[in-house]
Structure 1
Amino acid sequence: MPHERGNTGGTTFAEWRIMRSDAGRFWATRERPFSLSAEDAGAFRTVDGDDLRELCQAIAEQESLADLAMGR
């Protein structure tokens, strides 16, 4: 699996490492774990998507869950 940095069209997720699999799917892993409260709220550290748009949505959802768990 090549470890390419994805171009998200101007959207950046500084704490996420974006990769593309040999099959063409996009994956992202958060470089630092979420807090325990964020994980308890359902935030996942690794997400995937069929394309960059879908991947960016998945990342944003996880960050939103984490923010809600932290009371932001």
Structure 2
Amino acid sequence: MSTTTTFEDLQAAFPRWTIWRSSADRLWATRNQRLTDAQLSHGLSHTIDADDADQLVARLRDQEELAAGLSPQ
């Protein structure tokens, strides 16, 4: 993770996710809410992972864009 990006920064930017680093030194994020079958079919994920903070941010933003494209459940 870059020295300018902390877990607190990531959590503040993505409050609907819980973010942590695994023992394999990968970053992970899990949603704080359950997804419906329709949301899963649309491509939303419960949990995502990445090699670094920049990659995780990109994947989280992709998930937010997908979610924004769904009509309210």
In the alignment, which residue of structure 1 is the partner of 2:60? 59
AA partner of residue 26 (structure 2):
R
Shift in Å, 1:69: 1.6
Label 1:59 to 1:8 Cα distance change in 2 as closer, same or farther (>3 A): same
Q: Tell me if 1:24 matches 2:25.
A: yes
Identity %: 31
SS in 1 for 2:62: helix
| Alpha-carbon distance between aligned partners in 2 of 1:65 and 1:17, rounded to the nearest angstrom | 19
Q: Contact 1:18–1:29 at 8 Å: present in 2 too?
A: yes
| Root-mean-square deviation (Å) | 2.3
Q: What is the number of residues matched between the two proteins?
A: 67
After TM superposition, the score normalised by the length of structure 1 is: 0.76
SS in 1 for 2:61: helix
| Alpha-carbon distance between aligned partners in 2 of 1:25 and 1:32, rounded to the nearest angstrom | 22
Q: Contact 1:26–1:55 at 8 Å: present in 2 too?
A: yes
SS in 2 for 1:29: strand
Label 1:37 to 1:50 Cα distance change in 2 as closer, same or farther (>3 A): same
Label 1:33 to 1:9 Cα distance change in 2 as closer, same or farther (>3 A): closer
| Alpha-carbon distance between aligned partners in 1 of 2:15 and 2:26, rounded to the nearest angstrom | 20
In the alignment, which residue of structure 1 is the partner of 2:14? 13
AA partner of residue 50 (structure 1):
D
Structure with a larger share of its residues in helix: 2
AA partner of residue 13 (structure 2):
T
